[in-house]
Amino acid sequence: GNSVTQMEGPVTLSEEAFLTINCTYTATGYPSLFWYVQYPGEGLQLLLKATKADDKGSNKGFEATYRKETTSFHLEKGSVQVSDSAVYFCALRLTGGGNKLTFGTGTQLKVEL
């Protein structure tokens, strides 16, 4: 079946530190890959996406590259801020099968001053 595996949190960083959140996937076919962010008490917002191998998604200083050879889509940011504290979800979506989004378990990020 299709699945997404994320590193467990919480991840605690100091402001301006470098962030990596690992994400790997298993899929029957060629999925599109997404990162969503959930700020405290809010819904999920699309952060970035990549639809084919070697694509790089980027938004708000965050980046992730679709690596087919390692089935990975790791999220990175060069310098985190306190306002980046949230839960980050990696997800995949295949064409067909109802087009559902399959999520990883989420990684909580805490950024401290």
Partner 1 sequence: DTAVSQTPKYLVTQMGNDKSIKCEQNLGHDTMYWYKQDSKKFLKIMFSYNNKELIINETVPNRFSPKSPDKAHLNLHINSLELGDSAVYFCASSQEGGNSPLHFGNGTRLTVT
List of residues contacting partner 1 (CB under 8 A) = 31-32, 34, 36, 38, 42-46, 49, 51, 87, 89, 93-96, 98-103, 105-106, 108
* Cβ nearer to partner 1, comparing 68 with 113: 68
Supply the minimum distance, in Å, between the C-beta of residue 101 and partner 1: 5
**97 φ, ψ to 5°?**
60, 30
* Cβ nearer to partner 1, comparing 24 with 59: 59
Per DSSP, 1 falls in state -
Residue with tokens 């470098």: 18
Supply the minimum distance, in Å, between the C-beta of residue 102 and partner 1: 8
Separation of alpha carbons 107 and 26, rounded Å:
18
Specify whether the CB–CB gap between 107 and 21 falls below 8 A.
yes
* Cβ nearer to partner 1, comparing 46 with 78: 46
3-state secondary structure 41-52: CCCEEEEEEECC
* Cβ nearer to partner 1, comparing 25 with 34: 34
Specify whether the CB–CB gap between 89 and 36 falls below 8 A.
yes
Supply the minimum distance, in Å, between the C-beta of residue 29 and partner 1: 9
Supply the minimum distance, in Å, between the C-beta of residue 16 and partner 1: 26
